[in-house]
Amino acid sequence: MKPTSINLSDLLPKNFDALLECKGVTFIKRTGEDSVRQVVVDVLCGNNLRASTEHLTRLRLGKLNAATFMVYLLGVQAVKEFGRTIPKMAFNTITGRASKSEKELCKWMIGLTKKGVQNILRDDEKQLEKYTESFAANLKVLAAETEMESGKLQCCVKYANGKESILDWHDMLSLFCTIGSQTLAIRGSEKSTYGKLFERLVLGSVLVALGFEQTIYPPKKTSKVFWLSSKIGEREADATLLVAPGQAVRFDLGFIGRGNPEITKDKVSRFERNLEINKQTYHSATCIIVDRVGEGSGLEEQAKRAGARVIQMSMSYWPIELAKWLSTKFEHESDVANCRPAELPALLKKKLAAVSFENFVQGLTVSESEDD
């Protein structure tokens, strides 16, 4: 395909890259500490993560949709029949040198997502040109048929400075296709995106609420400190807690429902019983935190045999259950252990009021690309 005269990078809003991919700290700043705190408290009180983050997803989608709309408005000003040049521009961008965000947008512009590349093109880039030509031809036919059925369209968008952008059916149908593919891609990424973020946010928050202090590895203190995401021994833990000298807990948190019991069972025995930190040996217990466990799975019995504990986040009082387990096993006292379930939300909000969530996600990159 011959190159077009338009450069997509000239049309992209400055915040487009940040909306697609950003570091965890940037996500916190963009979303706001108060919004993140509310989601964390919701999950700590037994609410489903996806239900609690739906408004964040809609917010991100709305901003991406608006940014994409601006690309089209600027495009029809810069290039005659912009909508008809999109397939060629998309092909040249995808196969050429361009930023990740430009390539991602161009896939959406020709109706593709990551899953679409896998399933429609079978991951064969040689099929892309043929697909793009077919897409362009079909869109042209669709625009002509729509004009015959609904009448000619000239959608005029006027700016405050007096400039105008005029879109016809071809432009509008191309925009609808892009927005639709974009929505599929972002929603397809939701599970892994929020899973990575809120595993740290939820674990860090519940441990702070129980009276522990976040530190870095290797720790200077030997008790009442924890750190997130570290590999000691054969397996990586989502959090490691030093309750007291010689006593540790390794945590694995996953937003896994009852449909994946085999994954949870594997985690029950994944960590070593003993680990060495700063040349000191710690006896380590295992705590697996999951969304919920199906009835009759036998997981509780298996966990007891392995010396582990399984806690379900679907229980509205699960931080209380965790606090009581730490009290029974390690004699760690926390007022959360004696809290009534109805009073838990208020207590958690109070304990997390001064927490900086950015500390929990330092170095974490959140990608908006779909799940593999």
pLDDT in tens, 199-214: 999 999 999 999 999 9
Predicted TM-score of the model (pTM): 0.78
For residue 268, pLDDT over 80 is answered with no
pLDDT in tens, 164-183: 999 999 999 999 999 999 99
Distance from C-alpha of 240 to C-alpha of 238, rounded to nearest angstrom: 7
Residue 271, pLDDT score: 57
- In CATH, what number does 212-333 get? 3.40.1350.10
Confidence tier at 147 by pLDDT (50, 70, 90):
very high
> How far is CA 50 from each of CA 47, 191, 329, rounded to the nearest angstrom?
9, 8, 32
Asked if 20 and 148 touch (Cβ cutoff 8 Å), the reply is no
Distance from C-alpha of 318 to C-alpha of 312, rounded to nearest angstrom: 7
Q: Provide mean pLDDT across the span 73-91.
A: 93
Residue 206, pLDDT score: 98
For residue 259, pLDDT over 50 is answered with no
Q: Provide mean pLDDT across the span 240-268.
A: 75
Q: Provide mean pLDDT across the span 283-289.
A: 90
Q: Which two tokens stand for residue 28?
A: 């916190």
CATH 3.40.1350.10 range(s) for the chain read 212-333
> How far is CA 292 from each of CA 124, 190, 255, 313, rounded to the nearest angstrom?
40, 19, 8, 6
Residue 205, pLDDT score: 98
